[in-house]
Chains A and B, each alone.
Chain A
């Protein structure tokens, strides 16, 4: 008997539930679902979209910042490009190719060592940048290399902080 009652109760319960579900579409017309706000799922989607937008904006800003920066710094007596500048130079190269722009690469050295040797060192640095731009598809005719040696320092001091800012190649659009 116990079993039977249980079964009937379950059957009734099931009936009530199915009745509810069948009546739901009609009920939804009256009840303002929208007012109750988006579901958790929708919220998550929105958050994700927002996050993606923010990330895209940040990325665009980062790329813009890379395009806005135009100076590559070097180690003492070095003409090897640090890998941290690869992306920046690739972005400039892409812009030069897409917009058919030309640049002047100005090579500079710090004041240590002789002025004439530093003039050669400045050219070597500018040529290292030119070489990378070429591998990114820029043609020779879009690049002009000029060395100023130690003659045109960015900072006037006679210390490592100034020297580090003076060992540089400036990429200037024409």
Chain B
């Protein structure tokens, strides 16, 4: 019981519309430095016969915050009171519970399918909290409890964006409490392989908690390496639908597809530049795999590497000036960095026999990569200033990592027993969440950018 609090068990069983794909997000471990927070079930009011909102708004917030590893929501049975508005808050009982913050609120059905959702975040210990918030004067009652407000929200939402707005609320709460932008109102693209289907290879996009999976493409042949456009409107991915690897662009709203790269040899590893104007990719058209950058407006190609070894897996520095990539030019796969302006290449990793699939953290100060140690493949971070490596995962056969846009979590593919599954780990490696799938194997996750 040193660092891990067991028994912090939450199971979300998610049934998607539009497909049979189901992903279960199971949290089996908490950590004892997670901050205690109380999230009170929201009250519900309706003039019609409807007795409950479409989803449990407060539970979605609680699950999101728990999944970040940074918060530990109080069990509902341990809540000392259930306020719905600030005037109902009894500060003393929350101080006694010793939670850092309390979330409460209510949902009113305005008309069928339209809801007014109001919710607050208070700090029971800080009676000057409201002065640090951007809550407008006059929007709250002049009572002592109001001095403790950190957030005061009131929104009209629809049935079809009800869950999404709960993720937005979780983001607001996360940011108010950590100073870091939340990444719950984001999505994950991933590939699922279900060999019992006529089209076993399927590309899905789901919310960051695995809910609402929508199939956006399926094929008889493999699909690899989905990559989000920086505006979140398009996916690039590798498809073998024509018998060999090609890079496809797909618009998510219109579902339009077009082929971006179909050169002789293989076409793979698409990576959007941070400004969305270029696509880095790997083509073997000139004899062996090299990194190219395509201007998306003109489709002109610029070759970045020139070496008989394997060069692959480009990932952009957030400033768009350089890329890291994997190369075995030194005999074993290692990470190198290439400057976009002058093509200079320098080696980045030196520790370990196998380092590959690197991605820059959003601040550009470190990379996360697949690192082989003791014969196992784990995720590791490398600090780019001092070169220090920190092995994050205890799982094995880890690959296809993707970092949340706020840099807090990493989602990746791993093998859990006999099954290929997704898992997530906090950037410091201290909090992990396995994401078991109930159908087939799940791999190649890609975390979306911020979507609003």
- Chain A residues in contact with chain B, CB under 8 A? 111-117, 119-121, 123-124, 145-149, 151-152, 157-158
Can you list 30 A-B contacts (CB < 8 A)?
A111-B415, A112-B397, A113-B333, A113-B354, A113-B377, A113-B399, A114-B313, A114-B370, A114-B400, A115-B225, A115-B400, A115-B443, A115-B444, A116-B225, A116-B268, A116-B312, A116-B326, A117-B310, A117-B328, A117-B333, A119-B245, A119-B312, A120-B282, A120-B289, A120-B310, A146-B266, A147-B245, A148-B222, A152-B222, A158-B397
User: Is B7 on the interface with A (CB-CB < 8 A)?
Assistant: no
Tell me the smallest distance from the CB of A95 to a CB of chain B, in Å.
Answer: 23
Whether the Cβ atoms of B268 and A119 lie closer than 8 Å is yes
Contacts of B282 in A (CB 8 A): 116, 120
Total B residues in contact with A, Cβ cutoff 8 Å: 33
Question: How many cross-chain pairs have Cβ atoms below 8 Å apart between A and B?
Answer: 76
Q: How far is the CA of A120 from the CA of B288 in the complex (A)?
A: 8
Q: How far is the CA of A146 from the CA of B265 in the complex (A)?
A: 7
Whether the Cβ atoms of A116 and B313 lie closer than 8 Å is yes
Whether the Cβ atoms of A158 and B418 lie closer than 8 Å is yes
- Chain B residues in contact with chain A, CB under 8 A? 222, 224-225, 240, 243-245, 265-266, 268-269, 282, 284, 288-289, 310, 312-313, 326, 328, 333, 354, 356-357, 370, 377, 397, 399-400, 415, 418, 443-444
Tell me the smallest distance from the CB of A130 to a CB of chain B, in Å.
Answer: 12
Contacts of B244 in A (CB 8 A): 146-147
Q: How far is the CA of A156 from the CA of B430 in the complex (A)?
A: 31
**Interface core residue of A115, A121, A124, A147 (most chain B CB under 10 Å):** A115
Contacts of A112 in B (CB 8 A): 377, 397
Whether the Cβ atoms of B240 and A148 lie closer than 8 Å is yes
Q: How far is the CA of A121 from the CA of B243 in the complex (A)?
A: 18
Whether the Cβ atoms of B399 and A114 lie closer than 8 Å is yes
Tell me the smallest distance from the CB of B190 to a CB of chain A, in Å.
Answer: 13
Whether the Cβ atoms of A114 and B357 lie closer than 8 Å is yes
Whether the Cβ atoms of B333 and A123 lie closer than 8 Å is no
Contacts of B245 in A (CB 8 A): 119, 147
In the complex, besides A115-B399, A119-B312, A147-B244, 7 extra interface pairs with C-beta distance below 8 angstroms are: A114-B357, A114-B399, A116-B282, A119-B224, A120-B282, A145-B265, A158-B415
**Interface core residue of A120, A121, A145, A158 (most chain B CB under 10 Å):** A120
Tell me the smallest distance from the CB of B371 to a CB of chain A, in Å.
Answer: 11
Whether the Cβ atoms of B224 and A149 lie closer than 8 Å is yes
Contacts of B289 in A (CB 8 A): 120, 123
Whether the Cβ atoms of B266 and A117 lie closer than 8 Å is no
Whether the Cβ atoms of B326 and A114 lie closer than 8 Å is yes
Q: Considering only CB atoms, which chain B residue lies closest to A111 in the complex?
A: B397
Q: Considering only CB atoms, which chain B residue lies closest to A117 in the complex?
A: B356
Whether the Cβ atoms of A116 and B269 lie closer than 8 Å is yes
Contacts of A119 in B (CB 8 A): 224, 245, 266, 268, 312
Q: Considering only CB atoms, which chain B residue lies closest to A124 in the complex?
A: B310
Contacts of A149 in B (CB 8 A): 224
Whether the Cβ atoms of A123 and B415 lie closer than 8 Å is no
Q: How far is the CA of A158 from the CA of B244 in the complex (A)?
A: 25
Whether the Cβ atoms of B284 and A120 lie closer than 8 Å is yes
Q: How far is the CA of A70 from the CA of B256 in the complex (A)?
A: 39
Whether the Cβ atoms of B370 and A113 lie closer than 8 Å is yes
Contacts of A151 in B (CB 8 A): 222, 224, 240
Contacts of A116 in B (CB 8 A): 224-225, 268-269, 282, 312-313, 326, 357
Whether the Cβ atoms of A115 and B224 lie closer than 8 Å is yes
Contacts of A158 in B (CB 8 A): 397, 415, 418
Q: Considering only CB atoms, which chain A residue lies closest to B401 in the complex?
A: A114
Q: Considering only CB atoms, which chain B residue lies closest to A107 in the complex?
A: B266
Tell me the smallest distance from the CB of A152 to a CB of chain B, in Å.
Answer: 6
9 tightest A-B contacts by CB?
Answer: A151-B222, A114-B357, A120-B310, A114-B356, A120-B289, A116-B269, A146-B244, A116-B313, A116-B312
Tell me the smallest distance from the CB of B309 to a CB of chain A, in Å.
Answer: 9
Tell me the smallest distance from the CB of A129 to a CB of chain B, in Å.
Answer: 15
Contacts of B326 in A (CB 8 A): 114, 116-117
Q: How far is the CA of A120 from the CA of B312 in the complex (A)?
A: 8
Q: Considering only CB atoms, which chain B residue lies closest to A157 in the complex?
A: B418
Q: How far is the CA of A152 from the CA of B399 in the complex (A)?
A: 16
Contacts of B284 in A (CB 8 A): 120, 123
Q: How far is the CA of A138 from the CA of B222 in the complex (A)?
A: 30
Q: How far is the CA of A117 from the CA of B284 in the complex (A)?
A: 12
